[in-house]
Chains A and B, each alone.
Chain A
Amino acid sequence: MILVCGGLADGVTELVCARLADSGYPYRLLDLAHYPAGYRVVWHWTDAGPAGVIAGSDWTLDLDAITGVYARFLGPEGRLPPEGDPEVTAALQFESDAGLMALLEDLRCPVVNRIGGGMSNNSKPYQALLLNRAGLNVPATLVTSDPAAARAFQGEHGEVIYKSLSGTRSIVRRLGPDQLTRLAFLRHGPAQFQAFVPGRNVRVHTVGDRVFATCIETEAVDYRYAHLDGLDVAMKPATLPAAVEAACLRAARDLDLLFAGIDLKETPDGDYFCFEVNPCPGFIYYERQTRQPISAALADLLNTRRPPAGLRSAVP
């Protein structure tokens, strides 16, 4: 039995549930919009690991019967409106999530994804170091609080983009004349700059040992926000060179991610550069555009009970 932890109002979780149903794989949904309300949990840890149950209104799932877990935690906007003191509610929600995360860390079946694996996404330059070690090229990157260094970097590379350092979602923008006049603000704290890499975007989803590459054609600097600039986006399945595909799988394994969304760019010379790895990819956008069977592969993975070889287990 597969356990899905997420909110049905979230399109990605909804798609995962639909695909599991289509595939004939039984699953139970722990609806995080409501959890823990409406559920009964009894998790007992001994030297042998966790044992116990999760029960919904009309079902009981033994932890030993779980073959795989798909988890997509929700922010406050995905939860039911708080009752009573919002601060107390938030603290109790945090405590509830912490218990669930601890359980997921300690289950032996495949978990997509364990919390520890996603932490690198909170620091893009840190993640870039790990990606580089995994054998993926990363664009020339500068993190600086020195305006002169930023200007010199632009002088060296010509076109330069800037984006957030942390996991805070930001729109990738070109460093233009307007931004250059504001470089003095860097003295308040560092920002991240990267050499602009020309070419086409390629989004790679690794699902266990399987790889799905999607090329994205657009004129936008950040294709996720192309519509804001009135630009079109077209997607189609792509095939990666074997070495790049192997490096993507290695990166996902190094980051302890059973399922990852990897952002690449293929230059006109055929080189590939990696920008970042998303530990909780919203793959629905790519699957709908290309009909690549990403969710079906994910469903198969969750039904296997055994994680692919080489993945590390939880390290705090």
Chain B
Amino acid sequence: MPEGFAVQPATLASAGHQVAVAAAALRRLRPEQALTAAARACPGGHLEGAGKAAAAKWGKSLRGAAGDLQRTADALSAGGSRYERSDENALGRRGVPR
């Protein structure tokens, strides 16, 4: 048996599901709202511009992290289902999305 098969397909699928849950939780976070509120608290100041810039950066950054995590979750789940259909370790052959 190839070495990767020591893991149960259901374990990979479950891990994929859990990582997807984490990705969904991250997608729900809105740091940009707090930073935008901070920007609005000081109209006309330097903080207004900096707060807006930070809001754009961190909102995008966190959603990017969530997206990356979702792709990892998808790969794990896909790996689980492939294990069930093949003796090839799909993740090992293809690698995982970067």
Instruction: Note whether A and B form a binding pair.
Output: no
| Interface of A toward B, CB cutoff 8 Å | none
| Interface of B toward A, CB cutoff 8 Å | none
